[in-house]
Amino acid sequence: MTAFSKNLLLALIPLALAAVGYLFQASIAMHDRLSVIEQKMSILVDMDNRIIPSPDNAIARNQIKMELQDDLHDLDKRLSLLEAVILGKK
């Protein structure tokens, strides 16, 4: 081994140690982020992997459901009236 290659290897040792340290620190940061995501996931999904609706979402869905039921009831009334008119003409 030449003196140049020895000096090059000695110069690369701190760089290699810094890279290993960076990778170790990045893996710890990823683990922390994953832990936070898993904690938040438990709030959003129950044990059966069904999505737990938020209260605001449930209120909005209930309101839309009621509006659709009202519209369906109105359409049913209109259909009954139209059937009565059509059957009355025959």
pTM for the whole structure: 0.47
Is residue 37 pLDDT above 80, yes or no?
yes
Contact 61, 53 (CB under 8 A): yes
> How would you class 57 by CB atoms within 10 Å of its CB: exposed for 0-12, middle for 13-18, buried for 19 or more?
exposed
Contact 83, 89 (CB under 8 A): no
More confident residue, 86 or 23: 23
The residues near 46 (Cβ < 8 Å, ≥ 6 apart) are: 52
Q: What is the mean pLDDT of residues 49-66?
A: 84
pLDDT-derived band at 90 (thresholds 50, 70, 90) equals low
C-alpha dist (Å) from residue 67 to 39, 70, 77: 36, 5, 15
pLDDT in tens, 5-23: 899 989 999 999 999 999 9
In whole angstroms, give the CA distance from residue 40 to residue 31. Answer: 14
